[in-house]
Amino acid sequence: MAVITYIQAISDALREEMRRDESVFIIGEDVGGSFGGAFKVTKGFEEEFGTKRVMNAPISETAIVGAAIGASLNGMRPVVEMQFMDFVTNAFNQLANVAGTTAYRWAMGVPIVVRGPSGGGVGGGPFHSRNSEAWFAHTPGIKVVCPATAADAKGLLTASIRDNNPVVFYEHKGLYRKIKDEVPEGEHIVPLGKAAVVRQGRDATIVCYGSMVHEALALAEDMTKEGIELEVVDIRTLIPFDEATVLASVKRTSRVLIAHEATLTGGFGGEIAARIADKAFTFLDAPVRRLAAFDSPTPFAPTLEQEVLPNKAKMLAEVLSLLEF
């Protein structure tokens, strides 16, 4: 075990998989050379693996993802870096209409990973702060992964690279250098589709992923001083979704708050809420609550950004409302 940052864990997973499997290569804008990507995830990779496996691409996300799909159909396992996940919109057709349907149309796997930084809280403004995971959760054939910890970032990325389906892998940029935890050295795999109960409790469940896991854990720690024990479930992957773990937690606590940083309307929290209402309604002692960002582009000004985004204080208000119901 070694204590490393979230971003180092991602870099380690990429390097180890490239060493293990020569079919793995990286393609993206400025991923090679001394630059090593916008956040330096692939710094030094070109020196080790060469330009045929660390490929700088033109500023055309459609071309990058299209090339990756073609390579995957010819035996390669590409990892595409988006400088910011906001710009995955430019490659939406390639992902949704091509990668997501190929297994159904041709009975062929498309082992590509499209990964990159997402999320707000860093003053990135509306073009560099989007949480777009719900779009791909609504796209059959694509897996969607949102790690919250360094250990999960490494283990889930390793599993994603080895998966034969297209995976969209969201890395919250606010966690890159802020979060450190113990990560196994060498091979480390966290299976896709398995949620984690990261804190056990009895009074209410917070179902979350990504940045909200850390807000929920901080709130749970604070509330123990009041004699309230919150259970925190990190779903880790949206697709496949571990419904069983979420339902089991809700049945234990009878109250649930679903929290994510993405905007409220059409967010994945609505899907989770619907499943709880459908399959655990008789266990509930209060309505299912959701906490999310306002239905707004992310402001650039820090004070406005914090007003729009969910946080621990807003989560506390929602939890108290649940407990008082």
Taking CA atoms, 99 is separated from 55, 193, 228, 306, in Å, by 20, 20, 46, 36
CA nearest 173: which of 212, 124, 117, 214? 117
Angle at 301 between CA 312 and CA 319, to 5 degrees: 15
Strand extents, DSSP E, the chain? 2-5, 24-28, 54-56, 77-81, 113-118, 143-145, 167-172, 180-183, 196-199, 204-208, 230-234, 237-239, 256-263, 289-293
**Strand partners for 217:** none
Tokens of 92: 């939406």
Please give the single-letter amino acid code of residue 299. P
Catalytic status, residue 128: yes
Phi, psi (rounded to 5 degrees) for 311:
-155, -175
Q: Which of 128, 172, 188, 214 is the catalytic position?
A: 128
**How many H-runs (helices) and E-runs (strands) does the chain carry?**
12, 14
What whole-number distance in Å separates Cα of residue 156 and Cα of residue 188? 9
**Strand partners for 233:** 197, 207
What whole-number distance in Å separates Cα of residue 24 and Cα of residue 12? 14
Q: Which residues are annotated as catalytic?
A: 128
